[in-house]
Structure 1
């Protein structure tokens, strides 16, 4: 069985405490993306959640990063932070028209993140999922939904996303609702447990565990300790595993991501 490609990354690349710890002393800010993308295989962009970027910006990101590097983008909050999700069409269309396809093959997954208070409404959520296109401007699109309320822990929700090959973001070591069911041809996990007291963000044991879990995901398995609603195995071959070290002790996240990636080599 061919294993999925495993990509380990962080959220964003502009963060002052990374200068002199992750980024070398004296590296100019305009070269930080170039440097980060030489050490990591993927980055999740949070800025797209808060506002639109320009096509030239996406094109610039594409050109400043090496072949094989992938960006995942947060979908805009204007689409997900609303009472009636079925009315999100114009916000989704505006986002896709903002130039995201300028990333070309470097466009990874679009993560549609929902507020912790957002509850599952089967009909409304189905309508939202049906607004997510499979391609735009000739570029294939992959979608993930990050739900944070326990009402989503139902077989009906799993059925909706699985039928549409949309992934459920796995909040692997966070306080948020954990749903580890594999519902798409890829896995999208976000880990948030880095500790300022640990030089590499996690203990050696924890880094080993995350590397092992990533390898199990890549084989279509659900690792021990990751809760699911319906099933433990992927029903189809996987193409990618995206593992992002997010939040927590943010200053440590790049070192944690690199340490996990090193263990997977």
Structure 2
């Protein structure tokens, strides 16, 4: 489990808990969660069971607006997508000189009311630099944004204070290969569960699921949770298990 270094501020109303998976196009799920479901219906099938999904393809290359409109049309009323920011911003340019790329990326998003947070996943080699992070946060367009650093140097109040100043969520990430820093820095929380023991593989047991449900309950705000332990098909099972243990005033 994560170890907290910054407690969640109190005073926010209990929000909507949205739980889902990181992506949906996994051949490994074909004989399990997608058994008997044609590939063209995988998104709508998953979206009928969970309340949110992360779009991962946007990390690797810009997606045309028509794709976003298609995905939105295939999901039910009240569904929300998170969108992964392009690695051109985070990994290639490493947050520097990204104004034009940010605008181009933002202009492609065509999810309408189904637009959720944009997540910015940083490379493990990128260390915390207060000036660099502050400048990048100031450039972000309106909307909800979440920041997932993967270097231990981000475990500092200077980083948390920057996120709070811009109402950007720190991504609480559970994985065996990079730091799990538990900090809630915005009026919403964002969790990525990559597999506690084996990255992208291991399933979460009942005790671990219960612990995450307790944390979500205690944070008292809108919360987005994505299972990224996708390689052996655990993600949708774990998402449904956490949904059963979590409470929300709206559709999960």
TM-score, normalization: structure 1?
A: 0.82
RMSD, matched Cα: 1.9
Aligned ranges for residues 39-188 of structure 1 at < 5 Å? 39-82=49-92, 85-98=95-108, 100=109, 102-134=110-142, 141-188=143-190
- Tell me which moved more, 3-12 or 247-256: 247-256
> Would the aligned equivalents of 1:207 and 1:259 in 2 still touch at CA under 8 Å?
yes
Rounded to whole Å, the distance in 1 between the matches of 2:71 and 2:229 is 23
Counterpart secondary structure, 2:28: helix
TM-score, normalization: structure 2?
A: 0.86
Aligned counterpart, 1:241:
223
Within the candidate set 20, 26, 50, 1:15 is matched to 26
Rounded to whole Å, the distance in 2 between the matches of 1:195 and 1:157 is 27
Higher relative contact order (Cα pairs below 8 Å, separated by 6+ residues): 2
> Number of matched residues?
233
Structure 2 gap ranges (5+): 1-11, 248-252
Structure 1 gap ranges (5+): 135-140, 220-237
Residues 248 and 130 (structure 1 numbering): CA distance in 2 closer, same or farther, change over 3 Å?
A: same
Residues 176 and 163 (structure 1 numbering): CA distance in 2 closer, same or farther, change over 3 Å?
A: same
Residue 17 of structure 1 deviates from its aligned partner by 1.5
> Would the aligned equivalents of 1:214 and 1:243 in 2 still touch at CA under 8 Å?
no
Q: Kindly provide the CA deviation profile for residues 138-180 of structure 1, in whole angstroms up to 9, marking residues without a partner as x.
A: xxx2101111111111211111111000111111344322222
Aligned counterpart, 2:250:
none
